[in-house]
């Protein structure tokens, strides 16, 4: 087990195009320690949930991608940055996803499975549940009007995953 440390930091605009960028970047950051494919998928899903929350709820940029020629008007974007910081300590990955958006008034309620503050948006309310399930550890710090920090940890390359057929 190596105890080497490696860190990276990203900041990007709070727009839905960057959701895939963020999860792919984090996945690429950890590839050299040889995580299993399942672990990579878990990390990508957790990052996607946290970043999507920052964009939709933190900055209220709830509209996703609009296909050209569909007669949709472009939606104004609320300015804001999402910050993703990763630290590898040996085979343990620490992820921090931060926004400086509107914050969460009731964190316990936000973390309840199936709860969504925006039922009109077709959100499932499963974001925090998936982060909790796919990572080893989840911590949420938030202050209304100041923003939210989600901290997640996962030990990689640890589970013996038996390959499953396609």
Binding site for other proteins (CB under 8 A): 16-17, 19-20, 23, 38, 41, 44-45, 48-49, 52, 55-56, 62-67, 70, 113-114, 121-127, 129-130, 133, 164, 166
Residues 36, 134 contacting (CB under 8 angstroms): no
Q: Dig out the tokens for 158 from the structure.
A: 């640890």
- From the list 19, 23, 49, 61, the catalytic residue is 49
73 is catalytic: no
DSSP 11: E
The dihedral through the CA atoms of 87, 89, 93, 98 has a sign that is negative
6 is catalytic: no
Query: At 120, is the secondary structure helix, strand, or coil?
Result: helix
In angstroms, give the least distance from the CB of 39 to other proteins: 12
123 is catalytic: yes
In angstroms, give the least distance from the CB of 133 to other proteins: 6
**125, 123, 126: which is closest to 63 by C-alpha?**
123
- From the list 123, 132, 141, 151, the catalytic residue is 123
Active site residues: 49, 53, 123
């Amino acid at each position: 087990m190596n105890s080497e440390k490696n860190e990276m930091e990203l900041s990007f605009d709070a727009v839905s195009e960057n959701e895939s960028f963020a999860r792919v970047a984090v996945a690429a950051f950890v590839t050299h320690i040889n995580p299993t494919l399942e672990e990579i998928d878990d990390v990508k899903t957790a990052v996607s949930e946290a970043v999507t929350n920052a964009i939709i709820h933190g900055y209220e940029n709830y509209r996703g991608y609009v296909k050209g020629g569909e007669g949709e008007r472009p939606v104004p974007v609320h300015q804001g940055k999402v910050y993703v910081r990763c630290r590898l300590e040996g085979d343990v990955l620490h992820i921090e996803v931060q926004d400086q958006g509107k914050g969460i008034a009731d964190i316990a309620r936000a973390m309840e499975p199936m709860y969504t503050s925006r039922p009109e948006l077709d959100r499932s309310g499963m974001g925090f549940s998936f982060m909790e399930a796919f990572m080893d550890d989840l911590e949420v710090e938030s202050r209304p009007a100041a923003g939210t920090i989600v901290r997640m940890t996962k030990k990689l390359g640890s589970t013996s995953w038996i390959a499953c057929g396609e």
